Amino acid sequence: MGKIISIGTATPQHRTAQPAILEFMQAAYGNDVASRKLNVLFNNSGISSRYSVIPDFDKNKNQHIFFNGTPSTANVKNRLDVFKEQAMPLAIKAIEDAFDKINSEINTFGVTHLITVTCTGLSAPGLSAELIEKLKLPIDIFHTSVNFLGCNAAFHALKIADLIIKSDAKAKVLIVCVELCTLHFQPKNDHDNLLSNTIFGDGAAAVIITSDDSDNKGIFMKGFYSLLLNKGKNLMGWNITPTNFEMILDAQIPQVIGDEINDVLLKGCQKLNIETDSITKWAIHPGGKKIVDVIKNKLQLSESDTKASYKVLNEFGNMSSPTILFVMDELIKESKSGDTIFSIGFGPGLSIETAFFSNE
């Protein structure tokens, strides 16, 4: 059985308050109807601030560095050039935080497997090769990537790590998720783009996983349950346009998730022989405030149960794949012996990923 022994988190240097981002967006749209819609969305977002590798979001047009006052002129190449420049330093920042938390260093720890995760920038040889060189990891290290799977991609990486640990008890797996969502801002006046521009931010998270016979304390990975809802396949996804990676976010997503959540929880518990009453902590991916609200109501959770999800959403927005790891980090800080954690995230498809953890 694998166990998470550390989670590191990182954000870029540019933190902008949500009201300042609203002003930037309204100026970029230059449209009264869009401005009114953005005002409603921002005021109900549950977000107070977000982070970006781009410094433009709290500046006037004549001070913009990336968008040059006209976001519509930035193209995919411009955006991916910034990703290649900024993703690796942010990933390293998260990795260093993870190792600092266990008072260790990556060059002495003995990482045997590296898994990188992103959906907001792609290149070859890519982030994993860059990290191997920069961190001086062995050139024969096992490395792979999880790309373009959206907000629940960290679950896929955790499942790969779990399989690795089960096949090799000496394995030491490092996962790093890095997303630069704000690179893909585009002032397009439709619901998907308006909502994306309201909630997404940049961030990174790193996870260190070992087997249960290692000396490090940690949270044990009990198992996973996945569900692909074909009826929701057009509700969430990505389109690559000449301009940007364009997010598809349908307004029906919270309702569809709410309709399924009780069944998902029950089937996940049945698969792993876990009693629902034994769950003491809830790691809900804050894909948006409405999603957390719906799950909270459907599962009859308390304010305490959803505190970590709302906190992460409030302070960082939705950073896509690293976000659930930020929530897990919050829960692990206060976890005690005997806790069982249920974690859930959502991605294109509409896919629902769940994981169960225990503090034994």
> Can you give the CATH number for the domain in which 52 is found?
3.40.47.10
CB of 286 closer than 8 Å to CB of 309: yes
Asked whether residue 159 falls in the same domain as residue 224, the answer is: no
Which tokens hold the place of 318?
């939705």
Query: What pLDDT is attached to residue 59?
Result: 78
CB of 250 closer than 8 Å to CB of 236: yes
Asked whether residue 27 falls in the same domain as residue 43, the answer is: yes
CB of 325 closer than 8 Å to CB of 9: yes
Give the whole-angstrom CA distance, residue 323 versus residue 313.
Answer: 8
Domain count, the chain: 2
Asked whether residue 226 falls in the same domain as residue 342, the answer is: yes
Give the chain's residues under pLDDT 50.
none
Asked whether residue 23 falls in the same domain as residue 106, the answer is: yes
Asked whether residue 184 falls in the same domain as residue 224, the answer is: no
Which range marks the domain in which residue 84 is found?
2-211
Asked whether residue 201 falls in the same domain as residue 239, the answer is: no
CB of 112 closer than 8 Å to CB of 172: yes
Asked whether residue 143 falls in the same domain as residue 224, the answer is: no
Query: What pLDDT is attached to residue 122?
Result: 87
Rg (CA), the chain: 20
Asked whether residue 159 falls in the same domain as residue 10, the answer is: yes
**Inter-axis angle of helices 32-43 and 18-29, nearest 10:** 160
Query: What pLDDT is attached to residue 75?
Result: 84
Query: What pLDDT is attached to residue 70?
Result: 58
- Where a domain ends, among 147, 181, 211? 211
**Tally of CB atoms within 10 A around 333:** 9
Asked whether residue 285 falls in the same domain as residue 306, the answer is: yes
Query: What pLDDT is attached to residue 252?
Result: 86
Give the whole-angstrom CA distance, residue 249 versus residue 255.
Answer: 13
Give the whole-angstrom CA distance, residue 197 versus residue 8.
Answer: 26
- Where a domain ends, among 181, 211, 241? 211
Which tokens hold the place of 19?
């009201």
Torsion angle, alpha carbons of 15, 18, 23, 24, to 10: 40
**Tally of CB atoms within 10 A around 221:** 22
Nearby residues of 352 by Cβ (< 8 Å), 6 or more positions away: 152, 226, 227, 228, 229, 257, 260, 264, 344, 345, 346
Asked whether residue 241 falls in the same domain as residue 119, the answer is: no
- Where a domain ends, among 143, 176, 211? 211
Asked whether residue 204 falls in the same domain as residue 262, the answer is: no
Query: What pLDDT is attached to residue 175?
Result: 98
Asked whether residue 95 falls in the same domain as residue 190, the answer is: yes
